[in-house]
Structures are given as C-alpha cells and as structure tokens.
C-alpha cells in the first residue's frame, strides 16, 4: 500500500464557494482542485475522471451536499465524500453519514479537515488493496481447482 506524504497530490472537487486548498496545504496536503457550483458542472467533473475525493458544503443555494453525495454514490460509489458545513447539527451530520458521507467537518473546526482527508484516502487505498488481494485469492483458488488432487503416498 502506498503511503501519502506531503508530496502527494490528490484531485479534489470542492462544491464550496471558497477554497480549502490553503488549509490542506498548511497541513502538508498538496491537491489540485476543480471547484464547481452547479449539478451539471459537478457531474461533468466526475465524468472527466481523475477525482480522488469530494469536499462538499452541506448547504449551498444552487447545489447542496446531499445532492452531490447522492450523485457521487450512484455513479462513483468508491469515491469518498467529506461534508463541510458551518451549520451542520448533530442530526444532519448523522444523516449525512448514514447517506454515505465518509466524514463531516465543521467550518469552525477546519483543523479536522486534513486528518479527515488523509483517513478517507487511506480507506480508499485499503479497499483497493483488499480487492486486489481478493482477486489474487480467487485466481489462486481457480488455478488450484484445475489441478488434480495429489495423493499422499503411504510409508
């Protein structure tokens, strides 16, 4: 499994009007961002590919975080979504997590953003590694079942 350090570059879609790139950079995370503010721009960015993570404001006038979450999980279910909000109460936070958000961060506590991003990306790497190992195991099982069973010779 590769380890992300300060030299890592992740492609992130923030649906927020302000960039949190400097917050992440201050904590050693270098990322390229594609900021979107509408559903069409969001879908276009996802379809273009190369996205590693979505940062989404919970409430925006034209396009909200739950809508982004539903779209992402319908077409890109392995893509982590971190909700960021200034007004996200406990009930809404729990609802977002139940709906599939990877994490949520309050704007007043942006010091949690970088650890949330790192954890989300580690989960993605872990899932990919588990899928790879599962594929190897299944392949080995198939290859092993094609061979005749060896009989053990007696003394």
Domain boundaries, the chain: 9-145
Beta-strand ranges (E) seen in 6-155 are: 9-14, 30-33, 53-57, 81-85, 103-106
In the predicted model, residues of the chain with pLDDT beneath 50 are 1-8, 17
Q: Which pLDDT score is estimated for 4?
A: 38
Query: Mind giving me the DSSP string for 127-145?
Result: HHHHHHHHHHHHHHHHHHH
Q: Which pLDDT score is estimated for 11?
A: 64
Q: Which pLDDT score is estimated for 91?
A: 80
Q: In the numeric block, which tokens belong to residue 83?
A: 């909700």
Q: Which pLDDT score is estimated for 122?
A: 93
149 Cβ contact list (under 8 Å, min separation 6): none
Domain 9-145 has CATH 1.10.3720.10: no
Q: In the numeric block, which tokens belong to residue 29?
A: 């995370």
Q: In the numeric block, which tokens belong to residue 120?
A: 């989300």
Q: Are 41 and 60 in contact (CB under 8 A)?
A: no
Q: What global pTM score does this model have? A: 0.77
């Amino acid at each position: 499994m590769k380890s992300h350090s300060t030299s890592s570059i992740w492609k992130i879609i923030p649906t927020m009007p302000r960039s949190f790139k400097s917050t992440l950079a201050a904590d050693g995370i270098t990322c390229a961002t594609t900021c979107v503010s509408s559903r069409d721009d969001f879908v276009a960015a996802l379809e273009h590919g190369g996205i590693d993570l979505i940062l989404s404001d919970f409430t925006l006038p034209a396009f909200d975080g739950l809508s982004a979450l539903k779209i992402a999980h319908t077409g890109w279910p392995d893509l982590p979504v971190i909700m960021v909000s200034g007004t996200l109460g406990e009930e809404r936070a729990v609802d977002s997590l139940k709906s599939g958000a990877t994490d949520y961060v309050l704007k007043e506590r942006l010091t949690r953003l970088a650890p949330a991003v790192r954890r989300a990306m580690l989960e993605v790497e872990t899932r990919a590694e588990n899928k790879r190992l599962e594929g190897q195991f299944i392949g080995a099982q198939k290859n092993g079942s094609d061979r005749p069973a060896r009989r053990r010779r007696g003394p």
